[in-house]
Structure 1
Amino acid sequence: MRAAVATSQSAIDPLSCLELLDVAVPTPPPGWALVKVVASSLNMHDLWTLRGVGHPAEQLPRILGCDAAGYDEEGNEVVVYPIVADADRGMGDETIDPLRSLLSEGHDGAFAEYLTVPRRNVLPKPTGLSFDEAACLPVAWGTAYRMLFTQAQVKAGDKVLVQGAGGGVASAAIMLAAAAGAEVWATSRSESKRAEALTWGAAGVVETGGRLPAKVDAVIETVGEATWAHTLKCLRPGGTVVTAGATSGMNPSADLGRVFYQQQRILGSTGCTRHEMIALLRMLETTGVRPVIDRAIPLDEIHKGFQLMIDGAITGKVIVHPNHEH
C-alpha cells in the first residue's frame, strides 16, 4: 500500500523528510482492528514530527496522520479515536495516561490505505457526517471540545474569547462554543479569517491584541507568546484560560501578579477522551454544526497540502484521500 512516511527530521526543511513509499498492509495484533482509510486530515502535529519536535528520532520511520475515517473489517463506516492509551492508567482519563500515544507517535498513522488501532478506538461514524467531515474531528475538534466543555466548563450565555481564528482547534472552538449558546469573540491578524469567524458563529471579531467590549469568562488559547498578555487582560477575575498549544512560542511573560490578584485559572488541555469524542459526535449530529474543509487532496499531493499549511494559506482542514478510488 502507499503511505506518507516520516523518514528523517529537519527543523529547516521538514517536507524533505516526508516520503511516499510502498509499504506492507499492516496485520492487526489480537484486540486490534484493521481500518481501510477513506479520509484523513493534516494537523500541525505532523509538521512538528517532521521538524523533530516531541518525536524521538529513534521512532522513525513512521507513517504520519493522526485522523482517520473509513471502513472496519465488516464494512461499517467508522471514525477513529486517535489516542492509544489505557484509561485505567489515567484514572479513567486516557489523556493523562503517562504511556498514552497519539496515532503516528508510537504507532503508524493514517496517511496510508490501511491502519490498525485497538478495537476500542473504532467508533461508529454518524450517518449525517461525510467521511471528509469525520476525518476533521478526532484531533482538532476533540481538543476543542475538551477545552471548552470539560476544562473551561463553558455553558450557554458565557463569553468566550478564541485566539487565532484561522487554526484548526480555534475554528472548531468558535463553532462549538457558538452552538452551545456562548457569546464568542475571535481574534486574527487576517481580515479574511476574521470575516470567516463571523460566518462560523462568532458574535464579534477583533485584530490580534485588539480591545474587547467586555471581559470574558474563558479564553481558548493555542497561540502562546504572541497573544498571552492579551489573553490575561481580556479575562474577567475568576475566569479560565485553557491552553492546548503555543504555535507562536512556549515562553510568554506569565504576569503572575494579575493571575493571583484576579484569581484567574490557567488550565492545560491535551486531546480528548473516548467518551468526549463520542459526545462530540453526538453534538454535531444534533446541532448540524460541521467542520470547515479548505480542500481535499490525493495522497500524492500531501507535500503541497503541508506547504499550504506552513504558508498559512488555508482556512479549515485539508483532507487527504489515501485510497485512489476516493
Structure 2
Amino acid sequence: MLAAAAVATHPDDPLAGLAVGEQPERPVPDGWMTVSVRAAALNHHDLFSLRGVGLPAERLPMILGCDAAGVTEDGREVIVHAVIGDPAVAGGDETLDPKRTLLSELHPGTLAERVAVPARNLVPKPASLTWEEAACLPTAWLTAYRMVINRAGLPADGGGTLLVQGAGGGLATAAILLAKAAGHTVFVTSRDEGKRKRALDLGADVALETGARLPRRVDAVIETVGAATWRHSVGSLRPGGRIVCSGATSGDGPPAELTRIFFLQLSVVGSTMGTREELVDLVAFLDRTGIRPVIDEIRPLAAARTSFERLARGDAYGKLVLTV
C-alpha cells in the first residue's frame, strides 16, 4: 500500500531517510481494527522519528504518522487516537503507562492508505468536522487541549491570562483558539511579524516579539520552545503561576531559573499528548464552539515529501494535511 515511511534515520538530514511509495502491511493483532485513512496530518514527531529519536534502526522501515481520520471496515467514520497504552496501569491515564508508545514508534503509523489500531483507540468523527479537520486533532490539538484546559490551572469559567510561546505551529495555533474559546486572555510571541499578525487574526489579544515584556504577568505559559524562551516564560508568570511544558524544539539546556521559581512559588508541569477521553472531550468542544484547526496546506499522500520539506523548513502556519 502507498505510505510515507522512514527507511533510514539521519540526525542531521532527516528527509534523506524518507520514502514515499509502496510498503507492506503487517498482520493485524487480535483486538485491533483496520481503518481506511481519508486524511492524515504531519507533526514534528515525524521529523524526530526520521532523525532516529525513539526509532532505532532495527524497527525500520517504519510507516510514519500519528494523526488520521478514516472509515472502519464496518463503515464507521472515526478519528484515530495515537497513544497505545493500558489506562488500567496508571489510574485511567494511558499516557502514564510506562510501556505506552505512539503510532509510528512500535507500530506502523497513519501516513498510509490503511492503519491498524486497538479498537479502543477509535473515536467517532462528528459530521460537523471534515476529514481534514478531524485528522488534525489526535496529536497537536489533543496536546494543546490537555495543556490549556486540563493542565494550566486556568479558571474553568474563563477570565484567565495565558502566554503562548512561538505562535505559528499546529500546537500553538490550537492553544490560541482553545484558550479564546474558553474565555481567556491570550498573549503570543513570535520572531516572525507575519505569524504575529496571523495570531491576532485568530483572536490573540496581544502579539509580541519573542522575549518582549508583556503588558502584565500571566497565570500560565504554554511552553514548547525550550532553551530560547524558557527565561522569558519564567519571568512572565505572576506569583503562583504555572508553566505547562510539552516540548523543547530549541533545546532543553536553559538556566533553570530556580531562584525565581521557588521565591515566586511557580509551578512547572510536564504534559504529553492526552487520553482517549480527552480526545472525545476535544471533539465535543470543537463541535460545540465551532472552532476549527488552522490548515496551512492539503496535499495527496503521494506528494508527502513536499509537505515534509515545508515541515522541516518551519514555514507553515497551522497543520499540513495529506489526503488518501
- TM-score category, normalised to shorter length: over 0.9
CA contact 2:54–2:105 (8 Å) conserved in 1: no
Moved more, 236-245 or 16-25: 16-25
Residue 41 of structure 1, CA deviation: 0.5
**SS at structure 2 position matched to 1:186:** strand
Contact 1:154 1:177 in 2 (8 A): no
| Deviation (angstroms), 1:154 | 2.1
Given that 1:187 and 1:207 are in contact with CA atoms closer than 8 Å, whether structure 2 keeps it comes out as yes
1:102-181 aligned at under 5 Å gives the runs 102-155=102-155, 156-181=158-183
CA-CA distance at 1:23 after TM superposition: 2.6
Using the size of structure 2 for normalisation, the TM-score is 0.97
Q: Which runs of 5+ in 2 are unaligned?
A: none
TM-score (norm. length: structure 1): 0.97
What's the CA shift for 1:57? 2.2
| Aligned AA (2:76) | N
* One-letter amino acid of the structure 2 residue matched with residue 293 of structure 1: I
What per-residue deviation string (whole Å, max 9, x for no partner) do you get for residues 225-259 of structure 1? Answer: 00000001100110000000000111111110000
Distance 2:201 2:243 in 1: 24
**In structure 1, the residue corresponding to 2:133 is in which secondary structure?**
helix
1:24-173 aligned at under 5 Å gives the runs: 24-155=24-155, 156-173=158-175
Q: Deviation at 1:206? A: 0.5
Is contact 2:5-2:62 (8 Å) kept? yes
CA distance in 2 between partners of 1:110 and 1:151 (Å)? 27
Checking the alignment, whether the CA contact within 8 Å between 1:10 and 1:51 is kept in structure 2 is yes
Cα drift, residue 305 of structure 1: 0.7
Q: What secondary structure sits across from 2:229 in the alignment?
A: helix
Give the residue type in structure 2 aligned to 1:46: D
| CA shift for structure 1 position 222 | 0.3
In 2, the alpha carbon distance for the partners of 1:127 and 1:166 equals 28
- Structure 1 range deviating more: 51-60 or 296-305: 51-60
Q: 2:135, 2:48 → 1: CA distance?
A: 20
- Cα distance in 2 for residues equivalent to 1:10 and 1:278: 36
What is the rounded CA distance, in whole Å, between the counterparts of 2:154 and 2:46 in structure 1?
29
Q: CA deviation at 1:27?
A: 4.0
Identity across matched positions, percent = 52
- CA distance in 2: counterparts of 1:6 and 1:231, whole angstroms: 35
For residue 295 of structure 2, what is the amino acid of its counterpart? I
C-alpha separation between the residues in 1 aligned to 2:143 and 2:66? 13
Paired position in structure 1 for 2:2: 2
- Give the residue type in structure 2 aligned to 1:128: S
Matched, 1:234 2:232: no
Q: Which runs of 5+ in 1 are unaligned?
A: none
User: How many angstroms apart in 1 are the aligned matches of 2:12 and 2:253?
Assistant: 21
Matched, 1:275 2:277: yes
C-alpha displacement of 1:29:
2.1
Match in the other structure for 1:298: 300
Q: Which whole-Å CA distance do the structure 1 matches of 2:233 and 2:278 have between them?
A: 26
Q: Deviations over 1:267-290 (max 9, x none)?
A: 000000111111000000000000
The amino acid across from 2:107 in the alignment is H
Residue of structure 2 in register with 1:212 after alignment: 214
- Once the two structures are TM-superposed, the CA of residue 52 in structure 1 deviates from its matched residue by 1.4
Residue 176 of structure 1 deviates from its aligned partner by: 0.2
Residue 261 of structure 1: which of 263, 267, 275 is its match?
263
Letter in 1 for 2:214: L
Task: After superposing the two structures, state which structure 1 stretch, 16-25 or 289-298, moved more.
Answer: 16-25
Instruction: Answer whether contact 1:27 1:116 (CA < 8 A) is retained.
Output: no
Whole-angstrom CA distance in 2 between matches of 1:273 and 1:97 = 11
Cα pair 1:79 1:134 within 8 Å, conserved? yes
- Offset at residue 26 of structure 1 (A): 4.3
The secondary structure found in structure 2 opposite 1:248 is coil
For 1:23, give the aligned amino acid.
Q
Of 182, 186, 189, 2:188 maps to 186
